[in-house]
């Protein structure tokens, strides 16, 4: 159910730092007597009058941890309504810093007496965080490129498609399988073989919801914008990692309501696959990101050189077919 804001409740603006180093992130424990006390968190604090989020974060991290931030970028912004408090979390990813060098594998204490530790991003699920932090943890698990496969009909054979899929798994760790042209028996074979290839390469495989396959679901699911509005859609995919395609503010709000794991927003720029579809442009894309409470990928005319730009708006990264398929990440300019 959608988390709506109580009419009289003021939203508290909080600046948070996601400090990363060698695939680890620095977390601290909240004092027992404060809101959400005793839970782990990403360090930061309230934005005071006369400050913006970046200024507040510089101050808070220096006071709490003795760390000076040297390089940061927008990460994800989240508005969340607890029963007793509403918060707006303005989050930045910190990749370069000076100051206290907390040890990698030990429990330590910050400057305000709080427990502090480095944790592998893949192990954050082992720690209890406030509910508002869920999307931050998800964002840390996601790469900056989300590959969508072309349809198998664009290949000379299924074996050629599988060969190229295997090659793609060497460069991309989040891939959506989107095939609409195969007969059921062939589709089941392709899904099964792609699943085995993805698992071998530790790739998160998302299956497009328009595909009708008979094998048991062992993957994530990517909802089409139509399926996003299907009744009881979550009941169809219990305990499943779920994304969706979004094209409007209404779609974003529906994805927020369902508490999906991430979304793809399109079309941002003109595309060769849908030349008659009018792109939304960067301005509208930025507004849709601001409305999302979950990680967002940009789709439509995207290439790897756009990653830095979309992340400057607070998006997760880019999604593409043509620009990523059969292109090793390091070879893309």
Q: Where are the domains of the chain?
A: 11-140, 145-331
Confidence category of residue 273, pLDDT binned at 50, 70, 90: low
The pLDDT, as a whole number, for residue 103 is: 72
pLDDT in tens, 30-59: 877 777 778 999 999 999 999 999 999 999
The pLDDT, as a whole number, for residue 63 is: 94
Mean pLDDT of 162-181: 94
The pLDDT, as a whole number, for residue 3 is: 47
Q: Measuring CA to CA, how many Å separate 94 from each of 29, 65, 73, 144, 182?
A: 19, 13, 7, 16, 45
Q: Is the pLDDT of residue 328 over 70?
A: no
Mean pLDDT of 109-119: 90
Q: Say which CATH topology domain 145-331 has.
A: TIM Barrel (3.20.20)
Q: Classify domain 11-140 by CATH architecture.
A: Alpha-Beta Complex (3.90)
Q: Is the pLDDT of residue 18 over 70?
A: yes
The pLDDT, as a whole number, for residue 203 is: 96
Same fold? 11-140, 145-331: no
The rounded mean pLDDT for the chain is 89
Q: Is the pLDDT of residue 210 over 50?
A: yes
- Predicted model pTM: 0.90
């Amino acid at each position: 159910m959608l988390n709506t804001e109580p009419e009289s409740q003021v939203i508290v603006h909080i600046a948070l730092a996601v400090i990363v180093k060698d695939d680890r992130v620095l977390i601290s424990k909240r004092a027992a007597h404060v809101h959400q006390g005793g839970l782990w968190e990403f360090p930061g604090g309230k934005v005071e009058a006369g400050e913006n989020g970046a200024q507040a974060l510089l101050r808070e991290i220096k006071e709490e941890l003795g760390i000076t931030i040297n390089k940061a970028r927008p990460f994800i912004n989240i508005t969340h309504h607890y029963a007793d408090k509403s918060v707006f979390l303005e989050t930045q990813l910190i990749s370069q810093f000076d100051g206290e060098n907390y040890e990698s594998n030990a429990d330590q204490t910050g400057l305000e007496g709080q427990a502090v530790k480095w944790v592998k991003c893949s192990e954050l699920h082992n720690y209890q965080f406030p509910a508002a932090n869920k999307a931050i943890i998800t964002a840390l698990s996601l790469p900056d490129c989300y590959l969508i496969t072309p349809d198998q009909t664009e290949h000379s054979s299924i074996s050629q498609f599988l060969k190229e899929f295997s090659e793609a798994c060497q460069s991309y760790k989040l891939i959506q399988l989107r095939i609409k042209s195969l007969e059921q028996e062939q589709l089941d074979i392709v899904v099964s073989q792609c699943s085995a290839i993805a698992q071998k390469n530790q790739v998160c495989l998302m299956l497009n919801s328009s595909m009708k396959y008979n094998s048991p679901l062992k993957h994530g699911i990517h909802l089409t914008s139509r399926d996003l509005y299907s009744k009881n859609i979550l009941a169809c995919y219990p305990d499943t990692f779920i994304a969706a395609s979004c094209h409007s503010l209404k779609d974003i709000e529906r994805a927020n309501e369902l508490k999906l794991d991430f979304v793809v927003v399109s079309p941002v720029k003109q595309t060769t696959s849908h030349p008659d579809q009018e792109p939304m442009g960067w301005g509208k894309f930025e507004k849709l990101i601001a409305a999302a409470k979950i990680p967002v990928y940009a789709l439509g005319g995207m290439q790897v050189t756009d990653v830095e730009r979309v992340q400057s708006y607070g998006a997760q990264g880019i999604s593409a077919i043509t620009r990523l398929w059969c292109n090793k990440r390091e070879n893309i300019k």
